[in-house]
Every structure is written in C-alpha cells, then in structure tokens.
Structure 1
Amino acid sequence: MEKLMFLTKFLRSPRDIGSITPSSRFLAKAMVKPVDWNSAKHVAELGAGTGVFTKYIDRLRSPECKVVIFEQDRGMRQRLERLYPELHYHHDACQITSAMKQYGINQFDYILSGLPFTNFSQELRDEIMNEVEKALKPGGMFVAFQFSLQMRKQLSERFERVSLDFVPMNVLPAFVYRCEKAR
C-alpha cells in the first residue's frame, strides 16, 4: 500500500517526490546512523514522504527527544500524524525556524533530509539551506541523501565538514551526506 501511494504521488508530481519508490531499509539505516540518539534532544526530518526514516527516528529517539517532521504533501503528512502522533508536524521546509518557535525549540541537534534537491531551483535550495543553517546548533549535523554528487560543492561551502557514504542497496543507489556545522 505504501509503495502504491508513493508511486501515485510520484506520477502526479515527480519533481516534488523525487523517486519512483520509497527508500530502502539500507538507506534508512544509513540516514539515522550518524545520530547520537542518547544525547539528541531536537531532531527534524525534511521531506518525510511515507515515513521510511520517520519509523526509525521514532523507534530510536529517547522520550525526551522532540522531533518535528516536515512534509509538504497533505495526505502523506496526515498518514504520518496517525502513525506517529507523539511527533510534531509542519508542512513547509522553508519555515524551519518559525516551526521551531512554534514547538519551543531553540536549535536542532540533527536535521535529516529526504528532499530531492536536484529537482529544486537554486533559489529554493538556497532558501531551504539557509533555514537549515540557522536552525542547526553549532556542531549540529545535517544528514541528507541524494542520487548524485550535485550538492557536494554547495554543502562543502556551507558546512565545516562534509563526508559521504554510498548506499548501493537502494533504487536508485544513493549518497548520504553528513554535514557538520562549525562549533
């Protein structure tokens, strides 16, 4: 059912969804691996889709960890709200800092992203990345996956350290960027 919903959304709006199928469990595990779940107090997920990463985030987080899920698609967001009612939800990744205020968060320790940046205009990429930079605490980490290395230069210009993992067991194989903000 999840895959059918994802495919339907992709066919209606491929630029917004970015993939024909949800991410694999291998990619999901690679995305949540960099997070220190014992110390994380504030985590955001951008572009949650059907909740492949959300499931792991909810399972691994401590009870004190406040999580905000950003998903533009109303149907997908409502589904996630039903599945994970203890998390917080917002519709627009361009409004990370205003959502933080709404939920009483000063800064995020980690921001995980499944957004298809390759499909976005440079203006939209910059708008989202400006929000990410403002929202992350010093020493915080932005973790994002992409199907290409197109974002490498832009991320290297914004973050103190950028490292990559390659996840071949996914349709399509993906790169996981781990981007650390300067302290």
Structure 2
Amino acid sequence: MRRLLFLFQYIVNPRTVGAILPSSKFLADKMVEKINFRNAQYIVEYGPGTGVFTEKLLEKRNPKTVVLLVENNKEFYILLKEKFKREKNVFIVNGSAENIVNYLKEYHIPYADYVISGLPFASLPKTVSLKILLNTTKILKKEGQFITFQYTKFKKTFIEQFFTKIDVKREIRNLPPAYVFNCSMSQNMEEYYGV
C-alpha cells in the first residue's frame, strides 16, 4: 500500500517526490547512524514521505526529544498524521521546508540539533533549494548536522555553499543506490550567516 501511494505521488508530483519507491531500511539506518540520540533535544525532518526515516528516529530517540516533520505533499501529510498520532513530542506540518524558521517559532522550538532531509534537491527549483539550505543554517545549533541523501553527487558542490564539511557515504542496498551527505558548518560559516 505504501509503495503504491509513493508511486502514485511520484507520477503526480515528480519534482517534489523525487523517487518511485520509498527509501530502504538500509538507507534509513545510514541516515541516522551519526545522530547522538542521547543528547539530541530537537530533530527536524524535511520531506518524510511515508515515514521510513521517521520510524528510525522515533525508535532510537530519547522520549523527551521533540521531532518536527515538514511534509509538503498533502497525501503523505495525512498518512503521517494517522501513522504517528499516538507519538508524544511529534509535530507534523503540511508546508514547505522553506518556511522552517516560522515553524520552529510556532512550536516554540529554539533550534535543531539535526535536520534530516529526504528532499530531492536535484529536481527542486534552485531558488527553493537556496532558501531551504540558507534557513537550515539559521536553525541548526553550533555542532548541529544537516543529513540528506541524493541519488548522485551532482548537488554536493551546491550544498557546499552552505556547509563547509560534508562526509559522503554510499548505500547500494537502496533502489536506486543513494549517497548520504552528513553536513556541518565551521565557526566561520556560522558567523557569516549570523547563526
């Protein structure tokens, strides 16, 4: 059922869904492996889709950790609301990650320790990607990390405009195989963006 919904949403919204199938559990493991779940107080996820990464986050998090999900697709949003309705400290927004600064204010979240992203930067309009990444640098705490995956390394140079350190790992047990980018900022970049 989840795969059919994903395929349908890809056909209807190929630029924003970005994949024919949901991410594999192997990719989900790689996306969350660098997260310090004991200390993380606030985790944000962009484009959770059907919730493959979200399930991993909720399975491993400290119960007090607040998780904010931002999903632009209405069908996925409805699915996520139903799926995680019994979870405490989980907030789900139907909107664009471009507006993440406003969503944090709305839910009284002071910053993000980690931002996990399933957004397809290769197919999003450049202006949208720029705004999302710039606003991500504004909400991340000093040692915070932005973790995203892409199907190619094509957007690595683009993301490096915002994050000075990017560790790349490949996960071949995903259809298609994917690259996980663990991104962080140096002190100089934080000062530059006024974080």
TM-score (norm 2): 0.91
Unpaired runs of 5+ in structure 2? 188-195
1:63 alignment partner in structure 2: 63
2:42 alignment partner in structure 1: 42
1:151 alignment partner in structure 2: 155
Aligned-partner Cα distance in 1 for 2:159–2:46: 16
Q: 2:142 aligns with which of 130, 138, 141?
A: 138
Aligned-partner Cα distance in 2 for 1:44–1:178: 15
Tell me which moved more, 81-90 or 66-75. 81-90
Counting only pairs closer than 5 Å after superposition, residues 3-152 of structure 1 correspond to structure 2 as 3-85=3-85, 86=88, 87-90=90-93, 91-152=95-156
Instruction: Say what the alpha-carbon RMSD is for the aligned residues.
Output: 1.0
Aligned-partner Cα distance in 1 for 2:184–2:38: 18
Structure 1 residue 73, shift from structure 2 partner = 1.0
1:21-61: per-residue Cα shift (whole Å, max 9, x none)? 00011101100111100000000000010111011111111
Give the number of equivalent residue pairs. Answer: 183
Q: Assess if the C-alpha contact under 8 Å between 1:37 and 1:61 holds in 2.
A: yes
The share of aligned pairs that are identical, in percent, is: 31
Structure 1 residue 181, shift from structure 2 partner = 2.2
Q: Give, as a single letter, the amino acid of the residue that structure 1 aligns with 2:25.
A: R
TM-score (norm 1): 0.97
